[in-house]
Structure 1
Amino acid sequence: MPSKITPVIQVAIPSQSAVATAFKSVNLADAFSIQLPSDSSINPDVLARFIFSVQPSWIGALLNVRDAIVAGFGLKTAKHLATLSGDATVPRISIFRVFGTTETEVVLGEDDNHLDFRLSILCMPGLPPNTGNQLTLSTVVHCHNLLGRTYLSVIAPFHRQVVKASLRRAASVGWPKASESLCNRTRVAPLSC
């Protein structure tokens, strides 16, 4: 049964998130939060895998357009990154490299010639207490050059819509329960299955 849909709210990047200090300088920093139902998983790895496995189909179409445009500039494409998922030496969630995990957060991202970015999926108790857990998806980007800054200025509005739509879609499908295995919920095989 789908979860009650709660609003996605833009928030400050949580100070306890590893991405808050990931780069000395950032060209983009944003965070969006959604309240989780009381019976949902609070495992950030499970939540990240779930979010990326149930994204709206238009996001895949948008990535295909992005890939067609950036391939000529020698930038990493989503299709190329997807092929790296089979490499067991570098852990990945969806197309993103895993940079770190804790009990409350998983940090994903990629480094490229034009920019580096990190995504955080952080699950923390809501405020005030007893209001449920908050899932916050934060993004920070550090550009290396003019190509990176130009690219970022073009994709930033799309990025924000993708993040909000991904969180709304996960909520509408129904967050994984604390007792459920993600392997039983999706057709995407997580690393831990």
Structure 2
Amino acid sequence: MGHGAGNHLYASVASRQRQHGAFVDELDEPSVKLGGTNFPKDDATSLYSFIVGPRGHPFHRHAGHRIFTAVSGSGGAQLRFSSASAQQVMEDPRNFVRALRFVNIPPDCMFTVRIGGETWHQFSPLSRNSLHPVFFALSCHTNELGGDLSRSMKEKVLADEASIPALTELLPSEVTQLLEAKEFDAETIPVTTLALDAPTGTLHRLVCNAMRSSAGLLRGAWSSWKGTSGFLSYGGSSRTVKELKAAPAGCLLNRQLSDVPVHHEDTFSLRVTGANFKDASARQLLASVLEGFLRNPPGGVSTLMALRNVLVKPFGLRTSSLGCPVSSLLSPATDTLFANCYAVLDQAVNAADTRAQVILGASDKHLLFRSCAGVEIIDDHHIDITLGTRVHCKNLFGRFYMKAIDYVHRRYVAPAMLRLAVEFALGQVEDFQMKKSLVPA
């Protein structure tokens, strides 16, 4: 790869991992489970990302075999393997050293490793006191139940609660002491050296390594300082959003702005059918929909909001990165929270927890708006999700503004926001139901 690319990518991945909800930092091998098992569908695979920093990490092994693809840091990496069995190590710790082999990986290089189950391994910098990370990797566990796992570990795997540290066995202390003893000479271990730019031991190789090392330090520092993030979106739904003639009976929106003229009103509804909503909670479903508004906004709406923010900023109007029907979800106010998380103006959940609603809204120089997001469970296989808005225009500019955006709001903004929020919420429901169905054997 390009000079310094290894350090740059390592820093980017390290930043993204830290922001992930499943981030684990143990055994000098920060990692994240990106994709879990799905045993009801006979899928025993899982996917992890992990990184190894400049200090390397300890010798360890896993019961099952591993396959991972990695990118080495700009100082290169050394992979260390010992095929000594547990019985051989127990008989004589020196058997571990006799079976030890090293593989040197060049800097800024993409490579793939396949490790048999029960194989001891360690990943370290190519040189001592290195300033460069070893590598980052994407690891596929092709069978999370593979190998001789304990009963408790099998239960964790079946419940999709396994992690890289949990599946790791460290080297016995007597072998660790042997490797740390003064008598141990790493120079006597057989080494296989891989190279791409130039053969090892040549001037060309030395110059190339020096250039990659320098570039890596700069690019790694830049990426760490700049930071990075990731974006996730759900789309492609064929579900139809319908505009209703009026808000449903009992909707909280009907009570909003009752003391002032209403210059704009709409309500959109989306019905979900076919899924199993037995024992579902309208409160929890609505919380997932609100999270969907925040985390899964339509890209086109975000672009329109960015353009709108630029145009109205000279007039001192309120700006937001989120579409106006639900933009108040970004409010820092904590006076009234729905599900102890989402800022709302009002809320209502019936006693049976089959209907939940919240009121959102804000006041600006030109208009006052109120929106109602609601979820109603019709039966075990049907739910209705609604998003309605009422607007009172405070002045002529407010009326002009609403006339200008009315068509796009009705035809695109509100329906798209509702559809993608529901897509996100249903994804959360499916994940919950899948985990709930896993019973340890």
Q: TM-score, normalised by structure 2?
A: 0.36
Is 1:147 aligned with 2:380?
no
2:418 aligned counterpart, secondary structure? helix
Instruction: Determine the structure 2 residue equivalent to 1:56.
Output: 298
1:138 aligns with 2:388: yes
Alignment partner, residue 102 of structure 1: 348
Match of 1:32 among 268, 277, 291: 268
Q: Distance in 1 between matches of 2:404 and 2:289?
A: 28
Say which of 227, 246, 250 aligns to 1:16. 250
Following superposition, the deviation at residue 132 of structure 1 comes to 0.8
Residue from 239, 251, 259 that aligns with 1:6: 239
User: Matches of 1:125 and 1:59 in 2, distance apart?
Assistant: 28
Q: In the TM superposition, what is the alpha-carbon distance from 1:78 to its structure 2 partner?
A: 0.8
108 and 151 in structure 1: CA distance in 2 versus 1, 3 angstrom threshold: same
For the residues of structure 2 that align with 1:2 and 1:153, how far apart are their CA atoms? 29
Counterpart secondary structure, 2:282: coil
Structure-2 residue corresponding to 1:164 = 415
Q: Structure 1 runs of 4+ off > 3 angstroms? A: 1-5, 37-41, 79-82, 84-92, 170-174
Q: Secondary structure at the match of 1:157?
A: helix
Within the alignment, does 1:68 sit opposite 2:310 as a pair?
A: yes
1:30/1:138 contact within 8 Å kept: yes
Q: 1:114 to 1:97 in 2, by over 3 A?
A: farther
Write the mapping of 1:86-97 to structure 2, written as runs, cut at 5 A.
86-88=332-334
**Considering only CA atoms, is the larger Rg found in Structure 1 or Structure 2?**
2
SS of corresponding position for 1:32: strand
> In 2, distance between residues paired with 1:49 and 1:102?
18
CA distance in 1, matches of 2:380, 2:300: 36
Gaps of 5+ in 1: 181-193
CA drift at 1:49: 2.0
Superposition deviation, residue 87 in structure 1: 5.0
C-alpha change, 1:102 and 1:90, in structure 2 (3 Å) is closer
* RMSD (Å) for aligned C-alpha atoms: 3.4
Offset of 1:178 from its aligned partner?
Answer: 8.1
Change (3 A) 1:76 1:125: same
Q: 1:174 to 1:2 in 2, by over 3 A?
A: farther
CA distance in 2, matches of 1:79, 1:7: 25
| 1:63-105 C-alpha deviation (Å, 9 max, x unpaired) | 01100111111111115978x644545759xxx9511112210
Equivalent residues, number: 177
| Shift in Å, 1:134 | 0.4
Sequence identity percentage: 26
Q: How does 1:173-184 map to 2 (within 5 A)?
A: 173=424, 175=426, 176-177=428-429, 180=432
Structure number with the bigger relative contact order (C-alpha 8 A, sep ≥ 6) is: 1
SS at match of 1:61: helix
User: Greater shift after overlay, 169-178 or 66-75?
Assistant: 169-178
Match of 1:186 in 2: none
Q: Which amino acid aligns with 1:147?
A: F
Relative to structure 2, which stretch is displaced further, 44-53 or 54-63? 44-53
Other structure's SS at 2:401 match:
helix
Residue among 119, 144, 147 paired with 2:371: 119
